[in-house]
């Protein structure tokens, strides 16, 4: 009985969107729906492509320290940006969650923000993945990340200076 009461008091959800607009918008739509159904919403986001918190007064916003250098951001190397975000933001998410863990029922994160699962698990908090793209885009992203890991991307030396994911 005590555990049931404890869980019912924990109505805060921590949402972590990927910092690209096609990922932010669906996460904000989900946050709005959940808020209208009684949940308190905290959104942890990067400084890169930061969300305007003034447009969402019902949510609490906290920053993840992405530590992304400008040369990486202007490189348009999306795979490297996402890998850096996942490496750089883990410690700041741990700090954030340590301060609010008693109130957090669940961490809902974008599939591209895979570091969130390990952080949530480390605090004994459940996590859910929000996939904002089709299965074809998901498979394409995995292939791009594999090609990047093999050193075959980016294709700058072959005249291609950007790649979309």
Q: Among residues 23, 45, 109, 148, which one is catalytic?
A: 23
Q: Which residues contact 155 (CB under 8 A, 6 or more apart)?
A: 163
CA distances from 94 to 100, 123, 140 (A): 10, 9, 30
Active site residue 36: no
Q: How is the beta sheet containing 60-64 ordered, strand by strand?
A: 60-64, 40-46, 12-16, 104-110, 126-130
User: Quick check: 109 and 89 in contact, CB under 8 A?
Assistant: no
Active site residue 23: yes
Q: Among residues 45, 77, 110, 148, which one is catalytic?
A: 110
Active site residues: 23, 110
């Amino acid at each position: 009985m005590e555990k049931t009461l404890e869980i019912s008091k924990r109505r805060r959800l921590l949402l972590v969107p990927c910092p690209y607009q096609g990922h932010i918008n669906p996460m904000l739509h989900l946050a709005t729906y959940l808020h209208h159904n009684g949940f308190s919403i905290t959104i942890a986001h990067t400084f890169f492509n930061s969300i305007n918190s003034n447009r969402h007064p019902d949510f609490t916003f906290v920053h993840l320290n992405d530590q992304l250098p400008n040369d990486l951001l202007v490189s348009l190397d999306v795979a490297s940006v996402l890998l850096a975000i996942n490496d750089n933001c883990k410690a700041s998410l741990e700090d954030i969650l340590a301060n609010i863990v008693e109130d957090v029922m669940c961490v809902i994160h974008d599939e591209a923000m895979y570091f969130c699962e390990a952080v949530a698990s480390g605090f004994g908090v459940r996590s859910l993945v929000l996939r904002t793209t089709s299965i074809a885009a998901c498979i394409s992203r995995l292939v791009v990340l594999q090609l990047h890991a093999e050193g075959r991307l980016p294709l700058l030396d072959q005249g291609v200076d950007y790649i979309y994911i």
